[in-house]
Structure 1
Amino acid sequence: MSQSLSPRLETVGMDALMVRLFDAIDEAHMPWILAADTALRERLGEAMIDLVPSYTTLLVHYDVSRLSQIEARKLIQDALRGLKPASNQAGREHRIPVWYDDSVGPELSRIAERLGVDTDDVARRHAGRDYCAFALGFAPGYAFMGLVEEALATPRLKTPRQRVPAGSVGIAERQTAIYPMRSPGGWNILGRTAVKLFDRERDEISLFRPGDRVRFEPISREAFIEQGGDTTPLEER
């Protein structure tokens, strides 16, 4: 890989190894994560059951009927030796229209009050940068994205909500995400989108992949409704 980058392998189960490439979250690491993902899939072939890239790691789940842990470790080390990020591994770009409003984003006004600005300013700042989709998890189609500007960073709610509607856009610390379906959740909700993130009828059922770039675009309530958005207010708890 490079002289300053040495992957570490950690046993996390009888049939799984964690490949740790970095210790801190940084968008600059994503090309390495994606390159490692490709190399590992090619090297392990049919012996690989699943591979899950994340912010700084890749979880490798392998078939123990085909590989011992010693063999799996060697294949992984061989795959990563001399690895370099490929120039063609840039993620896709997505534009996600969002209706930022207190009725569907209760934490919008709270963050605005904390910063001494209005809610429109919070919306503009949240939508004012591209976000990298670092990892998928929690629920099908749920992408952990970042990094939110430091001023907007807000801790998770002390008491998670029992029901967060599909399409809810939230932040937690310096991460941002969209709930692909109704589920419990403790993120600070700023607004809602009508974009469907998980669709079994699509060729790719998840809209996002690790490494994709996402930009939010503030829209009006009317535009949100035209796009099929649900304006039902979000319950506090």
Structure 2
Amino acid sequence: MTHASAPTAAPAPEILPLGLDGVLVRFALRFEARANRAARALSAALEAAPLPGQVECVSALASVLVRFDRMTTTRVAIEAALSERLNDIQSAPHRPDRIWHIPASFGGENGPQLVQVAQIAGLGEGALVDQLCATPLDVLAIGFAPGQPYLGLLPENWEMPRLSALTPEVPAGAIVTAIRQIVLFANASPTGWRWLGRCAFRPFQLRADNPVPLRAGDGVRFTPVDHSALTAIEATGDPMGGARLERT
């Protein structure tokens, strides 16, 4: 008679000193969905109810940085308060409160590596775009550049490594992929990820009242449009790029 193995317990998060006024809560040494959910849950809890002396809270893919005011609190007090807060957070999957629907064009000059991505994923180009647009993506973290989102997770056939050499530049709005994630580029930049599409939505809008419209935990859904439709959206000059915000 065989017995099913008990589920593996998540490792306890580490609370680590970082610089003179920082504490890092690390949920894993590498990206995994459970660790990302826990990091987002802790960050949301700290933003909703900051710790005494907390001045900044920033979530990454599997960790959270908390900076504190050394004139009003101590590292020991912050670490103790974080330990208590960690007992209360819920890292279970949740339905996003906000879902962004973003028009995007794929392939050709808007995504010259789409063919390569489709070959690696074992799909035709059209089927690959359909799969991407049908997949509910969450903003896992924002980083590398102001407002720039990491989105995921894609199905397992999107588990593909970064390129062995950099693409010299992709434009603002480029949609690129690696390791079951999507990055939507805020600015023109070199990248080692594969470029498969482009949108007119700008995740960093310097002159807007809210320069960073996306936030960790938001949902993102891409809506496929052809090149001419994308060109027409860009011609409006609207940095929202035709995006529609759905509140659930």
Give the TM-score taking structure 1 as reference length: 0.83
Please give the residue correspondences for 1:1-237 in structure 2 after superposition, counting only pairs within 5 Å: 6-21=12-27, 25-26=32-33, 30=37, 32-41=38-47, 42-45=49-52, 47-84=53-90, 90-115=96-121, 117-228=123-234
SS of 1:61's equivalent in the other structure is strand
Q: Is the 8 A contact 1:153 1:171 kept in 2?
A: no
Match of 1:234 in 2: none
- What is the count of residue pairs matched by the alignment? 226
Cα distance in 1 between the residues matched to 2:88 and 2:119:
50
Give the 4+ runs in structure 1 shifted more than 4 A.
Answer: 3-6, 84-89
Could you tell which deviates more after superposition, 203-212 or 5-14? 5-14
SS of 1:180's equivalent in the other structure is coil
- The structural deviation recorded for 1:224 is 0.7
Cα distance in 2 between the residues matched to 1:182 and 1:112:
24
SS of 2:196's equivalent in the other structure is strand
Could you tell which deviates more after superposition, 134-143 or 32-41? 32-41
- The structural deviation recorded for 1:103 is 1.8
Cα distance in 2 between the residues matched to 1:36 and 1:89:
16
Cα distance in 2 between the residues matched to 1:183 and 1:202:
22
SS of 2:134's equivalent in the other structure is coil
- The structural deviation recorded for 1:141 is 1.2
Cα distance in 2 between the residues matched to 1:101 and 1:39:
40
Identity %: 27
C-alpha spacing 1:6/1:141, structure 2 compared with 1 (3 Å)? same
C-alpha spacing 1:27/1:128, structure 2 compared with 1 (3 Å)? farther
Cα distance in 1 between the residues matched to 2:122 and 2:41:
43
Could you tell which deviates more after superposition, 82-91 or 12-21? 82-91
C-alpha spacing 1:115/1:72, structure 2 compared with 1 (3 Å)? closer
SS of 1:223's equivalent in the other structure is helix
Cα distance in 1 between the residues matched to 2:121 and 2:87:
47
SS of 1:227's equivalent in the other structure is helix
Could you tell which deviates more after superposition, 19-28 or 146-155? 19-28
- The structural deviation recorded for 1:91 is 3.5
In angstroms, what is the RMSD of aligned CA positions?
2.8
For structure 2, the residue ranges without an aligned partner over 5 or more in a row are 1-8, 236-248
C-alpha spacing 1:21/1:27, structure 2 compared with 1 (3 Å)? closer
SS of 1:201's equivalent in the other structure is coil
Q: Is the 8 A contact 2:149 2:203 kept in 1?
A: no
C-alpha spacing 1:121/1:44, structure 2 compared with 1 (3 Å)? same
Q: Is the 8 A contact 2:158 2:178 kept in 1?
A: no
Cα distance in 2 between the residues matched to 1:29 and 1:19:
12
For structure 1, the residue ranges without an aligned partner over 5 or more in a row are 230-237
- The structural deviation recorded for 1:117 is 3.9
SS of 2:164's equivalent in the other structure is coil
Give the TM-score taking structure 2 as reference length: 0.80
- The structural deviation recorded for 1:62 is 1.5
C-alpha spacing 1:21/1:216, structure 2 compared with 1 (3 Å)? same
